[in-house]
Amino acid sequence: MRKSKVFLFAILTATAGLGAIVNQYGGSYANWATEWTVLNGLNDADNGASEELDFVGNDLNPCAYWAANDDYVFFRFRLDVGTADTSTFRDSHLLLIDINGNLNPDYGFAWDSKSNDPDAHGLEMLVPDTIGTYWSGTKMDDIDGDSGKKMANDINGGGRTTDGYVRTDDGQSTTTFGTTTFMDFAVSWNYLETYTGLARGQTWNIALGSIANATDHNFITADVAGGANPGSPVTSGWSNPIAVPEPTVIALISAAGFMTLLTRRLFFPR
């Protein structure tokens, strides 16, 4: 049974695209995931939101993915814009995490591109501020409680520089949505397990929300993935549960991926 689970994980992964990669926050990081597992339940139609805020995806070109190793957890989601032009990215993109199974956000990551000041904004760790009946009545707050500074318990706060990264990978062709852009988050387990209640071995549900022309401290105004929108109930738009692996399981998955790659190279050389 354990072998079959590892094999299933391996065949449900997606290889990274070949667009123009831009390190948007946190600097350059060399060990991004190269294989991604689809986050089921988050596919979304083009629903008229501004392109850089519109989450899109279908079965052929999924909206969202995740990956993990012993050091970081990674998330990737698709936006209906061909290039991540930082002259138009002056918004907030939120990845929200439910760890209690009640389909309300307990934590979240946000790339706040409304400000380019890395000492105040950038990639931020979120906790609930107001959980409304609908997404439009829901907003998060920085974990440090300070909307204008990076305090010690926020991502890359307290002088740390390796807690988290954001990059964009544009030029992703699709069959339905034209050319799209991936936005990728990487957040370290060391940070999460020191400053938050997020940990390996938990089960998470994931939601995506965007805020137009405002910081991450505002209500969700632009789009919500998974067939939802800001006017939808806050219990809608969540992914299927994902089981975040323990460190030993992550190591086994990594080893399985290496053996799969080695087998391909030995028996199916280019």
Per-residue pLDDT tens digits of the chain, which is 270 residues long: 333 333 333 333 444 445 799 999 999 999 999 999 999 999 999 987 799 999 999 999 999 999 999 999 999 999 999 998 776 678 999 999 999 999 999 999 999 988 766 666 789 999 999 999 999 999 999 998 887 778 999 999 999 999 999 999 999 999 999 999 999 999 999 999 999 999 999 999 999 999 999 999 999 999 999 999 999 999 999 999 999 999 865 444 444 454 444 444 454 444
Closest CA to 217 of 119, 152, 140, 164: 140
What is the pLDDT at residue 147? 74
* Whether 38 contacts 75, CB under 8 Å: no
Separation of alpha carbons 242 and 196, rounded Å: 18
What is the pLDDT at residue 185? 98
What pTM does this model have?
A: 0.85
Residue type, 146: D
User: Would you list the DSSP string of the chain?
Assistant: -HHHHHHHHHHTEEE---S-EEEEES---S---SEEEE-TT--B---SS-GGG-B-B-SSS-SEEEEE-SSEEEEEEEES-SS--TTT--SEEEEEEESSSSSS-SEEEEEE-S---TTTSEEEEEEEEE--SBGGG-EEEETTS-TTS--TTSTT-TT--SSEEEEEEEEEE-SSS-EEEEEEEEEEHHHHHHHSS--TT-EEEEEEEEETTS-TTS---SEESTT--TTSBTTSSPPPPEEPPPHHHHHHHHHHHHHHHHHHHHHS--
CB burial readout 243-254, b (16+ within 10 A) else e: ebbeeebbebbe
Query: Which residues, other chains included, contact 173 with Cβ-Cβ below 8 Å and sequence gap of 6+?
Result: 179, 180
Where in the chain are the domains?
Answer: 2-267
**Any bridge partners for residue 68, and if so which?**
73
